[in-house]
Every structure is written in structure tokens, then in C-alpha cells.
Amino acid sequence: MIRSNLIIAASIAAICSVAHAATAEPASMLAASNPFAKVSPLQYGYPQFDKIQDADYAPAFAEGMRQQAAEIEKIADNKAPATFDNTIVAMEKSGRLLARVSSVFGNLSGANTNDTFKALERELSPKFAAHGDAIRLNPKLYARIKSLYDRRDTLGLDAESKYLLERYHTDFVRAGARLSAADKDKLKAMNAQLAKLQTTFAQNVLEEANASALILDRRAELAGMSDQAIDAAAKVAAARGLEGKFAIPVVNTTGQANLAVLTDRSVRERLMAASLARGSHGGKYDNRAVVLELTKLRAEKAALLGYPSFAAYALEDQTARTPAAVNELLSAFARPAVANARKEGAEIQQVIDQEKGGFQLAAHDWAFYSDKVRAARFNFDQNQLKPYFELNSVLVNGVFFAANQVYGLTFKERKDLPVYHPDVRTFDVFDADGKQLAIFIADFYARGNKRGGAWMNAYVSQSSLLGTHPVVANHLNIPKPADGEPTLLTYDETRTLFHEFGHALHGMFSNVKYPRFSGTSVPRDFVEFPSQVNEMWSTEPKVLANYAKHYQTGAPMPQELLDKVLASKKFNEGFRTTEYLAAAMLDQKWHQLGVAQIPTDVLGFEAASLKAAGVDYAPVPPRYRTTYFSHVFAGGYSAGYYGYLWAERLDAETVLWFNENGGMLRKNGDYFRKMLLSKGGTMDAMQMFRAFRGHDPQVEPLLERRGLTEK
């Protein structure tokens, strides 16, 4: 997943360049002692985490917005006729101080937040909305852009520059530049309120995740969990002032990892209930009213801009283009996915009946009993894999090894750079020619002040215009073991490590001129494509043999076990696809509503929507329910959660291409890098894919991969 540098700054992403150029900056009113006052002296502008204090952010934001506003005013008021350089390039160079502080604050607000960050997020969200609107709703600035756009074929621009001009014009039009003055005022008010609501939603989700741990009185209730995990639960409870008790924190998704091991069904039921109830059971973290207000405001904003729904507005600028195209894709998967899930559920019910369980399969039973089905069918369970998936080996001998084999990259860990938390690691990344390409930051362990999930972001993005090089980070939420214990990953965590590094490669391989196009600056339904491709190397035999070694003995994973892992890759795909589709369809149902269609009952609308979409199979609830669906109600995936499946269609085609051309070969990696990973957003994404693959993507390879082809 890609995380925007700032949830609250999403509205200015297109006009606030992540810049660390050595060129002169505007005169600053910021104290010279503030670490953001100048470009970091560390290599590649790497942030001075050891010098940054919480008190540094607010004045840097204030001065950053002031500087960029002055820069934009100067561009808009320029008496000279508009040229590409004095308008578009000047805008690309603007806002460097704001970009520096935004990148650090935005990243740490997800990875290492605190009360000061949360308060500043609430304060800044409407200010950022207003700042972005002041730029993109500036009539004199838009007039200059439009005058260039109307003459774009006569300006002698190279392809990247021409596309940049076209993108700026599109960005401004979609932001409301053509609206009347009165409608612009309405839009500004909407954007400010939307920014506040999105921040409220995100903070409610994080606060309730921390508050909604399942509290247990007796150690026996945690039967099935390892002794180390039970001891950790005791420590979590003690930290909450509950000495002698045990606490199982709730993670961001509906499913909870401990549901696969807890033997006490009543405890599993309580854990699942706690997860499902988040944001919808009253109290200060209830998100139902926030959802309704957000949905209504988004629909009103879309209507003001001339669209029937927010989804129609959002999707116009994605590769899918229309809600109809998204609905068609999701519907194509719904029937076979749910049919497979029901078959899987029937197999689980057989196990329950054989054990004389005396109950019908429920959502809190699925993970526990599906592992039994897996064990019976393939004669192994997930716990057999973990000793072979030690974190450092997976990273160095797996993820980094694959990047070396496919792209020629090498890595060297360094200890001299400051970090914001002791668990964070940093690496220099060298290209095949030995020249340094980037700095990579690895932040893999879960923390109470870290949001859930896994994501990549950039502290510095590549741009030849600004002379900047990538500083990119990957974040996961792997439970940290007790001191002295190894970090052993599940298969899903291993795959996620490869996935997120695919995003990192997209950022590191960027070879563009303009910061607007750097790295992962592509449509949301395209951005997951390179990361999903990188997952293929997690089970590549050559790579597996290099990293899947027993953490104690160093013995390689037995071929028999490896064969079972590969044979079981389609196992439980009905469940996995159905839970994803349910969430993606909820996203579309909410955002395809018109202004007059907004419901009053969040949970009632959710239930009706799942039923209408044909994905209301109770044992498989949505991966995210509405009230804790941060991707779409707080992040950048509004009306865009379908993008994972959309991108996976491209991924499945690309895996076929690699296999057709010899698999893990440098020539294949170099071609993929040249045609896709290096280009960022410099051209239409689907044109880019067609130039690489030679034809439009088909859905059949993905249906086959997920085991959803009808026999």
C-alpha cells in the first residue's frame, strides 16, 4: 500500500513538490535553529530525526505555507506572458520548505504518532485544505495554465513536459478552477470540512484500536497462543494498569491473527465481536455520524463539480475511468468468489461436524478451522513455515537477493544515520553499476502509536529538475518478540515484505524530470501493480532456497514442505477474494450515491449493500467494515479500494510475461524497469502497460491465479 505523505495534505499533493534542491530558497522567517529551515545536510536530504522536536513542526508549516503562497502569487501576477518555464516549472519548484516538513510529519504521523501530532493534524487539516484551494482556485493562475494548455501543440515541448502541462490543467479543472466565484466559496468550505472529518475518522480508528483490546482474566483462556505471545499479552495488560490480566490488541482488519490459534471458541467469538464493533457501538470513537457527513459532503462536492456521484468524479482520473467499469470487474469476481468461499465453508463445517462441535460455522471459526482443513489436505500447517521465515533472512536473503538477481541492486546497512525509533534500520542501495541509487528505511515492528497495516512512503522523491535522489521507507506491523527471541514471520507477512518492497523499487527506480511524476505518482488503481509483481519472487524456487532456512539450524526448508506451500497457494482464495470484494463493493456503494440518496443508518445500508452485491456470506465478513475503513474514509483510496484487484489483473499478466521470457533474468528486470518502474507518472498508465505487454490486460490470468475459473 502507498500512504500519502499526509492524510490532511492530500488536497495539495499535486502542487506541493517534495523538493530538496540546492538552489536558493525564498527569504525565510523561520528560525535558523529549526531543522526544517534548510535542506538537511545529510546525504540525499535524509531527515535529521535526531534534531527534529515536536515544537518544530507548527512554525515550519506556517512558514512553508506562507512561502509557497508568496511564490504562487508571484507566478500568477507575473506581467510577462505565460511560458512553460515561468508558470509550470516555477510551480514545480515552489513549496520546498512545506514539502520538507510535510514529508516528515506525514510519515511520522502514521509511523510514530503522539498527542502533539494528533492535535496538530486536527489544527492543520482545514488550513491545508484552504492552502490548496487558494492555489488551484486562483483565477489568474488558471488563466496562465489554460493559455499554455490551449497552445500545447505549438510550444515545442518534449513528451514529459507536454504531459506535465496537460496534468496541471486537468488537476486545476478537477479542483474547481472553472467554477463561479460563489461556487468556489462553497467548494472551499466543503474541502475544509472534509479535511476535518477525514482526520477525525482516522484518529477515531487508531484510538479505538488501542482502546478495544480484548481483556481476559485467566491464562487458560489464551490456550493455543504461544507462551511468548501470552506473556506479551500480560505485559500489554499490565501497561494498561491491569496487572494479572491479559490483553489481546485489535489490529486494523476485521480478521485477527489470534483467531487462527485460540482454542476457546467463546474467546474467539469475543475477539471477533470486538473487531466488528469498532466505530459503531457508541462512545467517543463512534464513526457512524462521521461516515454519513463525509459521504454527503463528498456527493455534494461531486455534484458541484458536475458529476452524478463522488465515484464518478474520482474514477474519471483513474485508469478505470468509470463506475461501470469498476462494477463490471468486481461483479465478474463476486459469483465465483462467493461460490468458492461457500465450498470452503462446507469443508470447514465437515471438520466441525467430525469433531462433534455441535455448531454452525461462524466468522470467528474460519481461521481456526481452515488451518485444520489445510493440514488435512496438504499435511502441513502455517506454524511449520515460521521457523524458516526469520525476518532478517527474509529481508536480506530474500527481498534484497531477489532485487539483486532481477535488477542488479546491492545493499549495505548503515548505522550512522539518525532514526526516529530504535527499531528502524537504514540501508544504502547501489545500482548495478555500483553507483548509489537511494537510501532505504525499514520500519517493520508494530507499536501502539503506529497505524495498522503495511505501507511505503517517500521522505525525498527523485527529480532531475531538483537534483534529488530517493529516500523511501517501508512499514509493516510485525509483532515484536521478547528480547532474545527471533522474529519469525507468517507466510502472509513474508509476502507483504516483498509486496511493500515492490513499492520501494517503484520509488527508487524513478527516472523523471519533474517531481509531479516521481516514483509512485501514478493513478491509485495502477500504483499497486508493481508491488504485486514483486510478490512473485517470494515463492521463486531460487529465492526461497536462499532465504527459507531454519533459524536455528540453517537447514533449508525441506523440498516436501516447499512443494506443499506451492501446492496450497490457491487454498482459501474464495475467502480471501470474498472478504476483499465485500470491502471494495462497500466502498463503491457509499461513493456511487447521489446527494439525495445518502442513508441515515450506516449499518443497515452496509448490510443491504452486501446483500445486493451478492457477497453477504456471514462467515466471511468484509475485510474492513464501514466504520473502520480508513483507506476510503480517511486515506487516499476513496472510491478506489477496487484498485488492488484492478492492479492485480496487470500483475497476473506481467507474471505471465516474465515466465514466457525465462523468468528471473536480468534482461527481464531491466526491461520492466525501463518500460514501467522508471517512468513514474510521465505518461498515461495504461499506455505504459500496453507498451510493455503489447496488448490490453485480460481478466482470465487473474481468475486462474485465484482459482476462480469455472470448471
Q: Which residues are catalytic?
A: 500
Question: How remote is the C-alpha of 129 from its chain's centroid?
Answer: 22
Residue 214's DSSP bridge partners are: 248
Measured CA to CA, the distance from residue 289 to residue 197 in angstroms comes to 10
Alpha helices, DSSP H only, in 379-443?
391-393, 401-407
**Cα torsion angle, 476, 480, 483, 487, sign:** negative
Nearest-10 crossing angle of helices 573-591, 323-354: 140
**Cα torsion angle, 336, 341, 344, 350, sign:** negative
Single out the residue of 430, 439, 425 nearest to residue 391, CA to CA. Answer: 425
**163: enclosing H helix or E strand:** helix 159-174
Distances (CA, A) of 624 to 254, 280, 376, 585, 616: 6, 13, 30, 11, 14
The three cell numbers of residue 20 are 530538496
- Location of C-alpha cell 468468489: 337
Residue 455's DSSP bridge partners are: 475
Question: How remote is the C-alpha of 97 from its chain's centroid?
Answer: 25
Please report, as a single letter, which amino acid is at residue 168: Y
Q: Which residues contact 416 (CB under 8 A, 6 or more apart)?
A: none
Measured CA to CA, the distance from residue 495 to residue 503 in angstroms comes to 13
Burial readout 129-147 (b: 16 or more C-beta within 10 A, e: otherwise): bbbbbbbbbbeebbebbbe
Residues 451, 483 contacting (CB under 8 angstroms): no
Burial readout 314-332 (b: 16 or more C-beta within 10 A, e: otherwise): bbeebbbeebebbbebbee
Measured CA to CA, the distance from residue 223 to residue 218 in angstroms comes to 10
Q: Which residues contact 489 (CB under 8 A, 6 or more apart)?
A: 386, 389, 390, 391, 394, 478, 497
The vertex-151 CA angle with 149 and 155, nearest 5°, equals 105
Residues 382, 260 contacting (CB under 8 angstroms): yes
Cβ burial of 19 (10 Å; 0-12, 13-18, 19+) is: buried
The vertex-1 CA angle with 336 and 167, nearest 5°, equals 105
| Structure letter (DSSP) for residue 488 | B
Residue 412's DSSP bridge partners are: 428
Other CB atoms within a 10 A radius of the CB of residue 700 amount to 12
Q: Return the beta strands (E) in 403-489 as ranges.
A: 410-414, 425-430, 436-445, 455-460, 471-478
Measured CA to CA, the distance from residue 550 to residue 385 in angstroms comes to 9
Alpha helices, DSSP H only, in 257-387?
265-276, 288-304, 310-315, 323-354, 366-378
